[in-house]
Amino acid sequence: MTPAAPDPGHDAGFSLVETVIAMVLLALVALAVLPLVLEVTRASATGVRLATASRLVAEQMEAKRAVPNTICDDRNGAVVVTTPDPRGGAFETRTDIDGQCPGAGVVEYDVWVVHTTAPGKRIAAATTRLAMDGS
């Protein structure tokens, strides 16, 4: 038995109109999803920036807790550490103290991190009290 010959008036593929309609529908779906992708990307970058700033604050706090008598130069928003940001700009770890320094007693030590793209906005901050022994 031989197979039936194809009908010359009937094409089994997609027509140009069907292909254009499929492309338009795909473009509409892509346009609907694009704002979501952009928002997720922005939120991810913000999360990475916040995590980095929090880590820098914690590192500075631990360094000063280990050797508290070294904080006397960290006054009035002094920039203690500048850390480059691979996404552009840099993180600045800033500090301030409230209390008698040098001297014996308890001193409040403030640490915060700003980004050079928005220097007035603190990304992460913490305060601790350190006991100074007067040396």
Per-residue pLDDT for 135 more than 80? no
* 9 found inside a domain: no
The whole-number pLDDT of residue 80 equals 78
Structural domain for 44, as ranges: 16-133
pLDDT band at 53 (very low <50, low <70, confident <90, very high): very high
* 6 found inside a domain: no
pLDDT digits (tens, 9 = 90+) for 56-74: 999 988 888 887 777 776 7
- What is the number of structural domains in the chain? 1
Phi then psi dihedrals of residue 67, to 5 deg? -135, 80
* 1 found inside a domain: no
* 54 found inside a domain: yes
* 10 found inside a domain: no
pTM assigned to the model: 0.68
* 2 found inside a domain: no
* 8 found inside a domain: no
- Could you tell me which residue, 70 or 11, shows the higher pLDDT? 70
* 65 found inside a domain: yes
Report, as an integer, the average pLDDT of 70-90: 80
